[in-house]
Amino acid sequence: MRERDLINRILLAVQTEWPTEVRLFRNSVGMGTVGTPDRATRRRAMRFGLAVGSADLIGIGRDGVFLSLEVKADRRRLTAAQRKWKKMIRDMGGIAHVVSTPEEAVRILHDEFAGRRRWSRSD
């Protein structure tokens, strides 16, 4: 399965499990060029996404906790920038994980939220 398809399945699973308590957003990070193709001098590099190393899915839980899920379709290793991002989010009290299936994402969020006092599922 392509990573893009996996990200969409994870978004759907989390939205289904917590329709009002969790908001996740796709965070594509990269670099491209902008400008007219006929004049190379008018083209310039442009970065997009939250930050280098930031996760594929970012969001917030109802209790205000920052969520960061890096999606790895083939269980590849994290880059140095991705490891640094994950550590920073955790050090600041957020939730950061690497996931490879929708079920894993839902299980991890259940485990994380179980210990948070203000967290509760929708009725």
Number of structural domains (the chain) is 1
The Cα–Cα gap between 57 and 9 comes to: 12
Interhelix angle 3-17/102-114, nearest 10 degrees: 40
Q: Which residue in 116, 120, 102 sits closest to 21, CA to CA?
A: 120
Residue 121 lies in a domain: no
Return all residues near 22 (Cβ < 8 A) that are at least 6 apart: 14, 15, 59, 60, 61, 62, 67, 109
Average pLDDT, the chain: 86
Residue 71 lies in a domain: yes
Q: What is the mean pLDDT of each run of 10 residues along the chain (123 residues)?
A: 91 94 91 72 76 93 92 87 96 95 95 68 45
Residue 75 lies in a domain: yes
Residue 122 lies in a domain: no
The CATH number of whichever domain residue 83 belongs to comes to 3.40.1350.10
| CA of residue 110 relative to chain centroid, distance | 16
> What is the residue range of 45's domain?
3-114
Residue 120 lies in a domain: no
Q: Which residue in 114, 115, 111 sits closest to 97, CA to CA?
A: 111
Residue 119 lies in a domain: no
Residue 46 lies in a domain: yes
The encoded tokens of residue 116 equal 């948070």
Strands across the sheet containing 57-61: 22-26, 57-61, 66-71, 95-99
Residue 22 lies in a domain: yes
pTM above the 0.85 mark? no
